[in-house]
Structure 1
Amino acid sequence: MFSMLLVAGCGSWTASSLAQDSVDIGELEVTGQSLGNGQMVQEEAAKSRSTVTREALEKMSPTGNGIDKLKYTPGLNVSSDDSSGLSGFNFSMRGMQSDQVGVTMDGIPINDSGNYALYPNLLGDPDNLAEVFATQGSAEIDGPHIGSSGGNIGLVSMRPTKDFGVAFKQTLGSNNLQKTFVRLNTGEYMGLSNYISVSKTQSDKWKGKGELDAEKVELNSLYKFGEGNSLNAIIKYHKQENNRYATASLAQYRSNHQYEFAETPVYNANTGKLSTASYKTSVNPFENVTASLTGRFQLRDDLQLTVAPYYYWANGGSYSAYGSPATLYSTTNSSGNYDLSNLNTSAGYNADGDPVSGRYYRPSWTETWRPGINSKLTWALNDDHSLDIGYWYERARQRQTQPFISLKADGSPTDIWADSNAAVDANGVKIQGRNYFTVTPVHKLFIQDTWYATADLTLTGGLAYEYSERDGNMKASLYDTPEKRNATYHEFLPNFSAKYQLDTENSVFYNLTRNMRTPPNYVLYNAGDSISLDPELSWNNELGWRYASDSMALSATLFYLQFENRQISSRNQDGDYEMLNAGKVENKGLELEFSGLLPHDFNYYASYTYTEAEQQEDILYYGVYVPTKGKQVASVPKNLFNLSLGYDNGRWYGNVIGKFVDNQYGDLTNDQSIPHYTVVDMNVGYRLPVNKNYLQSATVRLSMNNVFNREYLAGVNTVVVNSARYNGTGSTYAGAQTPYYTIGEEQTVAVTFEANF
């Protein structure tokens, strides 16, 4: 399969895949403590960067996804529906939303190719991660992203071990959580080593009815040959069938701190017809495969070529019915695209005795096919200069539909995967609520020179040219007449950085980077003149200082980002993404990270972030200039603080971590906010003494999230322009809209037993 991919030229790599060169981790056996339980390492990049190591990952909750593992990292505010790692999540980084940050998994870009959203199913199995890193302000010059206006996150899988071994983990926890994970390492034979892992996770939702169910399979093969040559092939498969969590308005949360979808469907007493849906229709089935092949070839002592094809396929959707399910009648306006004469009228359905006729499960369904290739040539020109030249190409295709699937008498879908039982018109044509097909070809060329000016001073300068196209085909649906639309975006993106090593313990750096975010694909299909929207552009400035010794590490970074045409992502009540344009925005602030060792096997870790994300313009909305100038961007807390006290004597380990998150606004006018909150997590583990002849290691772990069972709103899910009414001249006004929020999870406990044979 991978040889076919390579020949076809479908692939990519980026800084995250290059990070694997320094990550050759098998089964970790800790013999003593390290700085901050592995939460902070000595970074060498001339830019802000934080890395969560395998040691830190092992000492966190046994579930969660790769982004959840960054929740104590400076600059990031992560909120998740629950701790299973299978449900929805959001994060902001230096005032940027998650769909403005490029994320890669082993070099594969995993932001949605259309709207840049991130989904937990695409983040791999956290048990196979070697590290997770974040560059908080700068998109990597070689990063395969068109939607990153600042910042990059990389998830790096561990490599196969050189020795044969089996890893087994079993986790049991609150809400009937069960996770079983098994990984088989074949060991190395003639330069080839492999592992295959399988896992199954099941859980009840922590609020309301519903279940989460996911299965993962991963294959990782590494072949080393010659001097400095290698091929690394990785395939990841995920399938889930999950019930969704409901988000809540501030009023809904105040009336019920566990606000959720209805537990039972409601039927009209007079007609017997289904009038209000339940959790049964609010589901999120998804299936995806990612495959990559990273080849590194040492052509000469001073010349290395990296070529990495990849392929990404995803298929799934979701539906959230807060009230009545979708309806479809012969009188429904079809925009002239369908002959609905075969359907009954509303009155006819109400009189037919069938409780669900005329009512439907209507998921927003997306299927994506995404091949690409990235290549880079690294040439050590001389002792002072190293030159990187590269090219990335990708051609993503995405089909977005909205079929009407019939319901069972109990109000549940007849097919949650939307493959069958779809409503058709009199001509047998499947009826769609939306019907888009988007092709997005992308080209990116870059060159970068690293100059070791002196033994202590390193200067780096680079230039990338990015070209992307949105080729949209709006096919016939209930609301759209067929039309083809096209938009093209291109920009030169320079960068410069300097690092100076003051002495063995102190260094300073400065970084300046130009970033671009191509508008999401739905600007092709939105009403009005959305297609004319310019790309979001930003200048990222960073000035930092790092101190590192054997017993302590400290970093401090000042950042300043200037945005043009700032795009704010939101969602409507159906969960579909919408975009708000906030114009010019300035983000500025401070990040601090501090870690060290204490006597008697104790250690500490702390991070603090101050962020001002200030809008520079009032926004014209429904003919009214609403007062957004000088206001904080929605969902961005000004203050974040994390403090951890840990212990590790090689046999026992433990940590207690407190997290403070400041107020977060739900609207761009700052009329409504959720209060600040503090939660405390705790992790304890015991490494059992084992006989190495039969068992390499065994550990029992206990994790508790939200130790004090705090009730709180964790983050903003739906951002609006204004939550209060603003009157314009005459009869014009911008009506009040409702922000919706993620409810923080109650206290959860998980116990894990793991063994390595």
Structure 2
Amino acid sequence: MLERRILLCFAALVALDAGFCRTSFAQSQTPAGKSRTTHRHSPSRSPAPTPRTASPVNGRAGTILGPSVPQTEEISVSGAGRHADGTTNTTPGGGLMPVQTAPRSQSGVTRDWIAKQAPSGNISSMIANLPGVVYANQSPLATAGDHITMRGMNESQIGYLFEGAPLADPINYEPYTSMLVDTENLGSVTVSQGAPDLNAPLFNAVGGQISATELNPSHHAGGYLNLLGGTHSAQKEFLRLDTGEIGNTGIRGFASFSYLSNNNWRGPGGLTRYHVDSKFVKEWGQGNSITAIFGFNRQEQTSWREPTAAQWKEYGTSFNYTPNYYPGNSTYYKLNFGNLNSLDVIAPMHFTLAHNLTLNVTPYFVHQNGPSVGGENIPASGGYYGTYQYGNLGQPYAYTNSSGKQMLTTASVDPWNQKTGAVNTSVDWTAGKNTLSFGYWYSYTTHEELSTFSVVDPSGKAANSYGRYPIVVNGVGILSGYNLNFMQQVNALYLADSLRLLNDKLVVSAGFRAAMVYRQGTNDVPGSDPYKKTGNYFEPLPQFAVSYQITPQDQVYMNGTTSFRAPESVEAYSQIFDPNSSHAVEQPGSLKSEYTIAEELGYRHTDKLFNFQMSLFNINLTNHQVTSSGYIPNTNMLISEPINVGGMTSRGVQGELGLKPWHHFSPYISAQYLHSTMDNNIPASGINAAGQSVIDYLPTAGKNSVGAPHFTFSAALAYDDNKAFFGNFSLRYIGSQYSTFMNDQRMPGYVVSDITLGYRFPHVRYLKGPKIQLNLVNVGNNLYRSAPGSFAATAQTRKGIYGSTISGGSPVYLVGGNFAALVSLSTGF
């Protein structure tokens, strides 16, 4: 591993030095008065930090390290789209396979696919059919969760970018894509399955990168209306208004509002969501633009209970929170829900300083806050606030449990509050055959999280309102399991160079990035040890890529990349306490950062009939932090539990094929074979022959990685006559996945299929492109477990390597959504 890391650094530095020296020499040899050949690059109007593109027609291949220009189609609200919903019916595979040229595994979706999916979906659900993407839902409407894995790594190990800004939680890395954008405003999504952009403002993307862009505002005043209704009492109202060109200012924009609600398909409760999107653009000169993007989200979702294998076998889809309350019933559904609230502001700016010099600046601000709420029964007296034992809390509505102890049913409230301010800048200089890029990213995050308890009255309602009147321990403070104050500061520098040779057919790119992350966390609960914990992370991250355009239609590439991820979640730095325990129920996790070295070898073909691409990949990961969610003992509160399992090796092959419309049909297939294994034996708590608790090891080296199916497959068939009728069919197969490190329990594979049927009406006065669309989700009503929700060392009690007895555990699982039928009516105006 160390040797490969050194060689990669050396290769990057040599390429940088050789390429730039060659350019400097060429410039010095140019006679006075003679013009030099330069390549001007105009920044995109709707930027995202994806690699530079180049048309295969002119023989130029893209680069992994160049200026930030989007890789997929850019569609404005009405100008470029043939239909009111932005579809053009030109992308191969029905919108699942736009042209890619970057020298790495990369796929995408465009409006041709997005507009025909259920309008209740999110960014993650839109890319479920792409190669190597394992998407697991809990709701057929795709409103709950973003559980994704790629090449054996989950969403917390994948970098999410929206319009060039990382809007995922910067500490636990959850993307929360349902908060980011309405799918009616989503322009395109690009998935890099193995490596992030060198200039991307990310420090967790060891498993790849997902970049999404919003539609560009129309040049003409108007709007778009979409109304949805369907099973599970689903309804959505969406309205977008476009300003068009505002006078002679060159400014145009849009603002939209939506309301979405539905009932849970299993168990009581449901979701309500209010969302606002806005985007304004000012363009002038050649390649100059300023964009202002605003997003607001407020939603509440009843939580889902996650069954173990035994509970799934016994109860199936009936394992849910209960609809009725009685004293002591902490599983009452109104005590178990989560709020996701966010405010996002992004302002990408692009300036052409000279004919060969550009400046890109993207400041952004993100505010996310809860609360999350879970039911819990706590002692009315004699419980614990940290390590301090309290007396009688003096609260009403106490009941006596089966052990004769006085207890209180409470709503355990976690009102997390997080703010991030940041700016990402880069300068790109083109000189002859070289493009030199330099960039700097700074980010500052604060995070506050004070858990509280509110007493529940006999009707099942928390006293007054959740969290407003928490229980107070006299003379000590608010009763809490954790009182966290967290700060994070990120500095990252990068330098990259791209050299074009052989009439621009050969492109050699190399770069180096230095990322520095500082974290500091405190826990103000009595007895917390340590009270304060810090983490400093510095990682050198070289990248190297070569691509060659064999013919205007055929490209081969290879790359070597590195990336890292700082430890996930504030729980990695702080203890977690509970009133039912005299000591911490959760200890700080591993504070080592993950580091990957990856290589890819790939081939692409693009012509007038079809697109095809295939790649081989190899990934070595050290300090692999497997993310597991676990319940705080005696509660319904889930927390993130990072588990360091040592090294992991993932090797495999992926491919996809998409045909351009032929007699109005566009088929698409994708597949991946993955062989992912653990490199080390993992530590586990055991009991030795003397009855003492000891740390032993389980023989997990060589075992299959958890949550990493060997085989995944997707097929889709789209039909669109460009006039009236359209539709598509898609099918996904996900192979079985292990949920224990000893591979003694696994979740079976499953198949899910969806159908879309639609009809466009003739134009009506004042209406542009009215249509009706029917989305049938999970048409076979397959009831299945969609992904492991937690992991265990072993499901069976067994002997460790040193002879101690290690008890088995019971992983929990996400349950996939059942059948749903959704009808939507939409029109432009």
Give the TM interval when normalised to the shorter protein: over 0.9
- Residue 678 of structure 1 aligns with an amino acid whose one-letter code is V
Q: Which residue of 2 aligns with 1:587?
A: 650
**Alignment counterpart, residue 447 of structure 1, candidates 495, 506, 531:** 495
Deviations 1:277-309 (A, max 9, x none): 311111012211011111111111111111111
Q: What is the aligned-residue identity percentage?
A: 25
1:752 is aligned to: 824
Q: Which runs of 5+ in 1 are unaligned?
A: 1-11, 268-272
Secondary structure of the equivalent of 2:130? coil
* 1:559 to 1:414, Cα distance in 2 relative to 1, 3 A: farther
Aligned twin of 1:722: 794
Is contact 2:325-2:459 (8 Å) kept? no
Q: Secondary structure at the match of 1:583?
A: coil
Aligned to 1:293: 347
SS in 2 for 1:159: coil
**Cα distance in 2 for residues equivalent to 1:421 and 1:689:** 58
| Farther off after superposition, 273-282 or 37-46 | 273-282
1:613-663, Cα deviation, whole Å (9 max, x unpaired): 110111111122112111111111111000112211112111111111100
Amino acid at match of 1:314: Q
Shift of 1:585: 0.6
Counterpart AA for 2:449: Q
Match of 2:482, SS state, is strand
Cα separation, partners in 2 of 1:233 and 1:534, compared to 1, 3 Å:
same
Deviates more, 1:181-190 or 1:625-634: 625-634
Q: Which residue of 2 aligns with 1:7?
A: none
| Counterpart Cα distance in 2 of 1:336 and 1:707 | 53
Equivalent-residue separation in structure 2 for 1:674 and 1:752 (angstroms): 35
Matched residues in 2 for 1:31 and 1:261: separation?
43
> Does 2:188 align with 1:145?
no
Q: Deviations over 1:679-712 (max 9, x none)?
A: 2110111111114x52221111111011111121
Tell me whether 248-257 or 23-32 shows the greater mean CA deviation. Answer: 23-32
Look up the match of 1:4. Answer: none
Within the alignment, does 1:119 sit opposite 2:184 as a pair? no
Q: Is the 8 A contact 2:456 2:462 kept in 1?
A: yes
Residues 1:730 and 1:442: Cα distance change in structure 2 (over 3 Å): closer
Deviations 1:17-59 (A, max 9, x none): 7429962421331565541111101101111111100111012
Distance (Å, rounded) in 2 between the aligned partners of 1:532 and 1:73: 33
Residues 1:515 and 1:34: Cα distance change in structure 2 (over 3 Å): closer
Question: Which residue does 1:686 correspond to in 2?
Answer: 759
Tell me: CA distance 1:49–1:202, structure 2 relative to 1, closer, same or farther (3 Å): same
Evaluate the alpha carbon distance shift between residue 473 and residue 605 of structure 1 in structure 2; reply closer, same or farther with a 3 A threshold. same
Shift in Å at residue 374 of structure 1? Answer: 0.6
Whether 1:196 aligns to 2:259 is no
Structure-2 residue corresponding to 1:674? 747
Q: Is the 8 A contact 1:162 1:187 kept in 2?
A: yes
Q: Please give the residue correspondences for 1:351-370 in structure 2 after superposition, counting only pairs within 5 Å.
A: 358-370=408-420
Moved more, 29-38 or 171-180: 29-38
Counterpart CA distance in 1 for 2:204 and 2:442 is 15
Distance 1:472-1:445 versus aligned 2 partners, 3 A rule: same
Aligned pair 1:381/2:441, yes or no?
no
Within 5 Å, give how 1:389-428 maps onto structure 2: 389-414=438-463, 418=467, 420-427=468-475
Structure 1 partner of 2:8: none
CA-based RMSD? 2.4
2:814 paired residue among 726, 734, 742: 742
Deviates more, 1:431-440 or 1:358-367: 358-367
When you count strand as a share of all residues, which structure comes out higher? Answer: 1
Aligned AA (1:385): N
The one-letter code sitting in structure 2 at the alignment partner of 1:195 is F
Going from structure 1 to structure 2, the CA distance change for 1:438 and 1:602 (only over 3 Å counts) comes to same
Where 2:189 maps in the other structure, the secondary structure is strand
Superimposed CA distance per residue, residues 581-623 of structure 1 (whole angstroms, 9 cap, x where no aligned partner): 1111101111110011464321200000111111011111112
In structure 1, the residue matched to 2:332 is 278
Taking the aligned partners of 2:256 and 2:343, their CA distance within structure 1 comes to: 15
Task: For residue 697 of structure 1, give the secondary structure of its aligned residue in structure 2.
Answer: strand
Matched to 2:441, the amino acid is W
- Structure 2 counterpart of 1:658: 731
- Inter-CA distance 117–344: structure 2 relative to 1 (3 Å threshold): same
Residue 463 of structure 1 is matched in structure 2 by: 512
1:239 is aligned, of 298, 301, 308, to 298
1:77 and 1:54 map into 2 onto residues whose CA distance is: 21
Alignment partner of 1:67: what SS? helix
* Alpha-carbon distance between aligned partners in 1 of 2:479 and 2:546, rounded to the nearest angstrom: 57
**2:50 paired residue among 3, 8, 15:** 15
SS in 2 for 1:718: coil
595, 598, 604: which is aligned to 1:537? 595
- Deviation of residue 713 (structure 1)? 1.1
Query: In the alignment, what sits opposite 2:356?
Result: 302
- Residues 140 and 818, structure 2, Cα contact 8 Å, conserved in 1: no
2:625 to 567, 577, 584: 567
User: Once the 2 structures are TM-superposed, how far is the Cα of residue 553 of structure 1 from its aligned partner?
Assistant: 0.8
Match of 1:634 among 701, 706, 712: 706
> Any residues of structure 2 matched to 1:14-163 within 5 Å, and which?
14-15=49-50, 18-19=69-70, 23-27=74-78, 28=81, 29=83, 30=87, 32=89, 34-163=91-220
Show the counterpart of 1:9.
none
Residue aligning to 1:5 = none
Q: Normalising by the residue count of structure 1, what TM-score does the alignment of the two structures yield?
A: 0.92
**Cα pair distance change 1:32/1:102, threshold 3 Å:** closer
Note the C-alpha offset of 1:330.
2.9
State the distance in 1 between where 2:400 and 2:171 align: 39
Q: Alignment partner of 1:15: what SS?
A: coil
Q: For residue 47 of structure 1, what is the amino acid of its counterpart?
A: R
Say how many residue pairs are matched.
730
Cα displacement (A) at 1:217: 0.7
Q: How many Å apart are 1:336 and its aligned residue?
A: 5.5
CA distance in 2, matches of 1:347, 1:129: 49
Deviation by residue 1:169-213 (Cα, 9 ceiling, x = unmatched): 001111000000000000012210010000000000000110210
Structure 2: unaligned runs, 5 residues or longer: 1-46, 52-67, 576-583, 632-636, 686-694
Counterpart in the other structure of 1:3: none
Greater shift in the superposed pair: 555-564 or 81-90? 81-90
2:553, 2:605 within 8 Å by CA — same for their partners in 1? Answer: yes
* TM-score (normalised: structure 2): 0.84
Measure the CA separation in 2 of the matches of 1:729 and 1:92: 31
Which residue number in structure 2 is paired with residue 549 of structure 1?
607
Q: Between 700-709 and 145-154, report the one with greater CA deviation.
A: 145-154
SS of the equivalent of 2:663 reads coil
Match of 1:500 in 2: 548
Amino acid at match of 1:388: S
Contact 2:90 2:112 in 1 (8 A): no
Decide whether the 8 Å contact of 1:14 with 1:107 is kept in 2. Answer: yes
Offset of residue 580 of structure 1: 1.1
> Is the CA contact 2:348–2:360 (under 8 Å) kept in the aligned structure 1?
yes
Structure 1 counterpart of 2:756, which letter?
N
1:337-390 residue CA offsets vs partner (Å, 9 max, x unmatched): 58x445149997549xxx9972211133321011011101011122x0011100
Alignment check: 8 A CA contact 1:285 1:416 kept: no
Whether the 8 Å CA contact 1:289–1:313 is kept in 2: the answer is yes
Taking the aligned partners of 1:293 and 1:598, their CA distance within structure 2 comes to 37
Deviation string 1:496-554 (CA, Å, 9 cap, x unpaired) is 01110010111101111111111124322258995763211001111100011111111
Q: Judge conservation of contact 1:690–1:696 (CA < 8 Å) in 2.
A: yes
C-alpha separation between the residues in 1 aligned to 2:380 and 2:237? 46
